[in-house]
Amino acid sequence: MQTIDPIHGPNNPTPEEVARMKVKYYGSIIELRPEKEREYRELHADVWPEVREAIAKANIRNFNIYVTEIAGKRLLVSHFEYIGSNPEADFALIGNDPTTKEKWWPLTDACQIRLPGTPEGSQWMPMEQVMHLD
C-alpha cells in the first residue's frame, strides 16, 4: 500500500481550508468475483500513479477498500473522505483521466458485480450513513 503527497491544484483546498471544513464521508459496496479476487488484490496493493493522482484531484482522501464475505458472496466495501465543495463535479473529473477510464476501470469493473439497486451510472452501491461521531 503506497501513499502520495497531497495535491494542491486549482480544484483542491489548502491544508488550512481542509482544517476548517466539514469533511463528508462516503461508504459503498459491490460484489467481488471470487475468480478475480487475486487480480483485484494485486491491482489495489499498488494502485497506478495516474489513478491515485486522479482520485486526489477529485478531493478524495483516506480512501480505503475492504474485503468481506456475507451469505457466500465475496464483497468489497469502500470508504473515503471528500474535502471539496462539489462532489458530483469532482467525482465526474476522475473519468477525465484517460488511464483510469480506458485502462484501470475496465480491469477493476471486470472483477466486480454491480449489486441490485445500484443507481444507474454508478458502479458501486452507496450505503446510507446512520451514525457519525467526530
Instruction: State yes or no: residue 21 binds its own copies (CB under 8 A).
Output: no
- Which of 10, 120, 5, 132 lies closest to 81, judged by CA? 132
- Sign of CA pseudo-dihedral 61, 67, 68, 73: positive
Instruction: State yes or no: residue 93 binds its own copies (CB under 8 A).
Output: no
Mention every residue, 6+ apart, whose C-beta is less than 8 A from residue 29: 75, 76, 77, 78, 115, 124, 125, 127
- Cα separation, 39 vs 42, in Å, equals 5
Radius of gyration (C-alpha) of the chain in whole angstroms: 15
Find the binder of its own copies among 14, 34, 38, 66 (CB under 8 A): 66
- Helix, strand, or coil (residue 102): helix
Instruction: State yes or no: residue 65 binds its own copies (CB under 8 A).
Output: yes
Find the binder of its own copies among 8, 17, 49, 69 (CB under 8 A): 69
Instruction: State yes or no: residue 113 binds its own copies (CB under 8 A).
Output: no
Instruction: State yes or no: residue 10 binds its own copies (CB under 8 A).
Output: no
In the complex, least distance from residue 121 CB atom to its own copies, rounded to whole angstroms: 19
User: What does the block give as the cell for 92?
Assistant: 465526474
Size of the site for its own copies (CB under 8 A): 47
Per CB under 8 A, residues contacting its own copies are 1-4, 6, 23, 25, 27, 29, 40-41, 44-45, 47, 52, 55-56, 60-73, 75-77, 79, 81, 115, 117, 125, 127-134
